[in-house]
Amino acid sequence: MTDLIDFVRLLTALVSFFTALVGLSEALKQRSKQRKKGRRR
Protein backbone atom coordinates (compact mmCIF):
# COMPACT_ATOMS: atom_id res chain seq x y z
CA MET A 1 0.00 0.00 0.00
CA THR A 2 2.80 2.41 0.88
CA ASP A 3 4.39 1.81 -2.52
CA LEU A 4 1.11 2.70 -4.22
CA ILE A 5 0.79 5.90 -2.17
CA ASP A 6 4.37 6.88 -2.99
CA PHE A 7 3.71 6.19 -6.68
CA VAL A 8 0.57 8.34 -6.63
CA ARG A 9 2.43 11.15 -4.86
CA LEU A 10 5.23 10.98 -7.43
CA LEU A 11 2.70 10.97 -10.26
CA THR A 12 0.82 13.99 -8.89
CA ALA A 13 4.12 15.82 -8.36
CA LEU A 14 5.15 15.11 -11.95
CA VAL A 15 1.77 16.25 -13.28
CA SER A 16 1.83 19.47 -11.25
CA PHE A 17 5.43 20.11 -12.37
CA PHE A 18 4.49 19.50 -16.02
CA THR A 19 1.44 21.79 -15.82
CA ALA A 20 3.59 24.48 -14.18
CA LEU A 21 6.13 24.20 -17.02
CA VAL A 22 3.38 24.45 -19.65
CA GLY A 23 1.84 27.48 -17.93
CA LEU A 24 5.23 29.14 -17.68
CA SER A 25 6.02 28.55 -21.36
CA GLU A 26 2.59 29.89 -22.36
CA ALA A 27 3.13 33.02 -20.23
CA LEU A 28 6.54 33.52 -21.82
CA LYS A 29 5.02 33.18 -25.30
CA GLN A 30 2.35 35.78 -24.49
CA ARG A 31 5.00 38.12 -23.06
CA SER A 32 7.19 37.77 -26.16
CA LYS A 33 4.18 38.45 -28.40
CA GLN A 34 3.28 41.58 -26.40
CA ARG A 35 6.90 42.77 -26.53
CA LYS A 36 7.03 42.30 -30.30
CA LYS A 37 3.77 44.22 -30.73
CA GLY A 38 5.09 47.01 -28.49
CA ARG A 39 8.30 47.26 -30.49
CA ARG A 40 6.39 47.42 -33.78
CA ARG A 41 4.15 50.19 -32.46
List, for residues 1-41, the tens digit of each pLDDT value. 789 999 999 999 999 999 999 999 999 988 887 766 666 66
The confidence score (pLDDT) of residue 16 equals 98
* Helix, strand, coil fractions of the chain, as percent rounded to 5: 95, 0, 5
Which residue type sits at 4? L
Residue 16, helix vs strand vs coil: helix
The confidence score (pLDDT) of residue 34 equals 74
